[in-house]
Structure 1
Amino acid sequence: MKIYVCFSVILMFLCIFFISGALSELERLEHPVTKSDGSLSFLVVGDWGRKGEFNQSLVAHQMGIVGEQLDIDFVISVGDNFYDDGLKGDNDTSFEASFSHIYTHPSLQKQWYSVLGNHDYRGNVEAQLSQVLTQKDWRWFCRRSFVLSSGMVEFFFVDTNPFVEKYFTDPEDHTYDWSTVLPRNKYISNLLHDLDLEIKKSRATWKFVVGHHGIKTAGHHGVTQELVDQLLPILEENKVDLYINGHDHCLQHIGSDGETQFLTSGGGSKAWRGDIQPWDPKELKLYYDGQGFMSLHITHSQANFIYYDVSGNVLHQSSLSKRSVLL
C-alpha cells in the first residue's frame, strides 16, 4: 500500500511537471574544447550576406587573418545572413555566393553558429534551417533558438524577430515567413520560459545571450522596446555577462561596471556612416559607423573582446573578470 501511494505521488508530480511545461524544448548542443588550457576563442559577425559587395569580402579577409592569430574555435553570425530577402529555397545560389565563396580563409573553416535576422525572415526561413545547406557546406548551423555549451561558456541563441511588433502590424510592404511562429504570443511566451529555465539551470562560468536585434544601442534602429520589456529582465535577473547582437550596421559596446555588457557586431558588409543616436557617454564605450567584426577570447577568469575595422585595425578592446571560486 505504501509503495502504491509513493508511486502515485511521484506520478502526480511528474504529470504536473510536464503539463506545466517545465521542461525546456530548446535544442542543446556542445562544441568540444580543444585547447589544453580550456580557453575559447571565436569571431562574431553580422549583417553580411551581400555576395561579397559593400566590403564583405574585405571583412572576410581580415576575419581570416585574426582567426588564424587567435586559433578560433568557431564563428558566430548574429543574423541578416542573406540580403535583401533571405534565401528563396535551399538551392538558392546566394548561399554559396554570400557564404561559401566568401569566407574561404583556412582559419574560417570552422563551425558557424547562426541566428536569423529580419531580412532572413523575408525569405524562406526553413531553407536556412535545412540540412541541405549543411550538406553543401558542413560549417553551416542555423536554428531559431538553441543552447550551445563549450567548456566554461554557455551561449543562449534567441530568435528575436517575432518580438518586434511592427513586423506584424506595419511590415513596410515586406512579406515575412511566420509559418511556424504563429500564434505569436504563444511562441514568445514559450521561448522566454525555455530561455529563463535554461539560464537558471546553467552552471557555466560565463553566460552569453545572442540575438539579432539590439537591446541597448545608439544605432539607426534604436533600442528594441519589446526586448527591453520582455528579454532584458531575464538577462538582469540571471546576471548574464554579455548580450551579443547585430541589426544596426555598426560596431558598438555599451555597458556599465558589474552589469550585462551589450556588444553589437553588425558591420559585416554595408554600414551606415554618421548614423548615431544620443547615448550616455559613460555607457557608450565604442561606436564605430563602419564595417568590421569582433573577436572574443574566454578563460575561466577573463572574457576579452576586441573590435576590428575593415582593414584589421583594432578599434576597441575591453574585458570582464571573474573571481576564482575555491571549492
Structure 2
Amino acid sequence: MTWCLNQSMLSPVISTIIVLCLLSIHSSIAENLPRFQHRLKAQQTSLNFLVVGDWGRKGNYNQSFVAHQMGIVGENLNIDFVISTGDNFYEDGLEGVDDPAFYDSFVNIYIAPSLQKIWYAVLGNHDYRGDVEAQLSPILRQKDGRWVCLRSFILDAEIVEFFFVDTNPFVEKYFTDPEELEKHTYDWRGVLPRESYIAELLKEVDSALVQSKAKWKIVVGHHTIKTAGHHGNTQELEELLIPILKSNKVDAYINGHDHCLEHIIDKESGIQFLTSGGGSKAWRGDVKPWDEEELKLYHDGQGFMSVQITETNADIVFYDVFGKVLHTWRITKEFKSHAYIQFA
C-alpha cells in the first residue's frame, strides 16, 4: 500500500483515516512495510532534505538555535522534507497524545516556513521510555500535519528509496540488563515477542531492498552501526543488519543516538555511515580512535545535515549550531542509459 504525501497538508479527517490504516498495517510486521511516496515536481532535478536527530528538549540545549539554522538552510535548498533519526522527545518520550511536549519540543520550535514540510521520523530509545503508541498515533498528525512517525516504513522518492528501520528491539541490554531495567521502563507494546519481531523485520527490509529499483538506497535508523562516538558500534546491528545492507548495495546508513555529527566510509563495502544526532544536547567529549582513512568527519557538538540527490550525485553537507559548514562530500554514480547496438 502506497501513500503519496506532498507539500500540501492533508485535512485532519483524511489524515486520521490514512494513519489509522497505516497503524493497522504495521501492527503486524509480517505484512509488507508501509510505503509512502514523494513525487518530484515537474522539472525538479534533485531531491533535497535535512536530517536531524536527538532533538526534543523544549528548545533547551541550543535546540532552538539548531532549528533556526535548519530553517535558513531549508529555505536555501528549497527542501522537500525533513528526516528525524529518533529520540524525538526527552527524557522519556511522550506521556500521551496530549502531552504538551509535542508542542514545546516540535510544533513551537521548528517554526521556519521552510520547515513546514513532512517530517519522517523513527523512534529512539528515549521515545520507547514513554507512551510509545502516542508518537505513532494519528491524533498527533491532527495537531500538526507535518508529523509522520512509524516503527518501520519505506519512503519512495523516485530516484531514491528510504528504508526506515526500528532499531530499538535489536539492542539486547534494553531487555535483559539489570542496571538498565532498574533505571528505565520501556514500552514494548507492538514489539513482543522480540525474537519474532526482529526476524520478520529483517525479512521485510531485505525483501524490500531486493525489490527496489531505485537509483539510490538509503537506510535510516536511530542506533549507530559504525561510530567513534559515545555509544560505540551497536553489535546486534553489525551482526544482523550490516549483511543485509552489504548484500543489497545500500549507499548509506543514516542514524542518530550519538549526539554528534559524523561521517564514516566503510573501506570494504563503501557504505556511507552518517550520524546526525546533534539536534540539542551534545559534547560528550569521549571520542574513540578510528581509522583515519574511514573517518571523514567527527564533530563533537550540535548541528544537522543536508542532502541533495540527483540521478548521478549525492551531495552531503554537515552544519554546526551556527550554520557553519563543517564538511561536504559528494558521492557519484555512473548514469546508466539504455545502449543500442547495431550489427552489420
Same fold (TM over 0.5): yes
Q: Which residue of 1 aligns with 2:248?
A: 238
Q: Distance in 1 between matches of 2:159 and 2:115?
A: 23
- Within a 5 Å distance, the mapping from 1:127-146 to structure 2 comes to 127-146=134-153
2:200 to 190, 194, 201: 190
Residues 195-274 of structure 1: pairs in structure 2 closer than 5 A: 195-256=205-266, 259-274=270-285
Number of aligned residue pairs: 307
Task: Summarize deviations over 1:95-140 as a string: whole Å, max 9, x none.
Answer: 0000000000000000000000000000011100001000000000
**SS of the residue aligned with 1:107?**
helix
1:138 maps to amino acid: G
Whether the 8 Å CA contact 1:38–1:151 is kept in 2: the answer is no
Task: Look up the match of 2:70.
Answer: 63
How far 1:37 sits from its partner (Å)? 3.2
Q: Per the alignment, in what secondary structure is the counterpart of residue 236 of structure 2? A: helix
Match among 283, 289, 299 for residue 288 of structure 1: 299
Q: Check the 8 A contact 2:266/2:273 in 1, yes or no.
A: no
Deviations 1:167-201 (A, max 9, x none): 00112420000011000000000000000000000
Counterparts of 1:38 and 1:193 in 2: how far apart (Å)? 33
CA distance in 1, matches of 2:152, 2:173: 21
What aligned pairs does 1:1-327 form with structure 2 within 5 A after superposition? 25-34=32-41, 36-170=43-177, 171-172=180-181, 173-256=183-266, 259-327=270-338
| CA pair 315-42 structure 1, distance change in 2 beyond 3 A | same
Larger Rg belongs to: 1
Query: C-alpha displacement at 1:272, in angstroms?
Result: 2.3
AA at the equivalent of 2:128: Y
Superposed structure 1 runs of 4+ greater than 4 Å apart: none
Q: CA deviation at 1:24?
A: 5.0
Structure 1 pair 320/35, CA: closer, same or farther in 2 (3 Å)? farther
Deviation at 1:166, TM superposition (A): 0.2
Q: Equivalent pairs: percent with the same residue?
A: 64
Question: Which residue identity is paired with 2:271?
Answer: T
The alpha-carbon distance between structure 1 residues 35 and 269, as it changes in their structure 2 partners (threshold 3 A), is farther
Contact residue 84 and residue 119 of structure 1 kept, 8 A: yes
Q: Which runs of 5+ in 1 are unaligned?
A: 1-20
Q: TM-score, normalised by structure 1?
A: 0.92
Q: Distance in 1 between matches of 2:321 and 2:42?
A: 28
Give the partner amino acid of 1:268.
G
Matched letter for residue 176 of structure 1:
Y
**RMSD over equivalenced CA pairs, Å:** 1.4
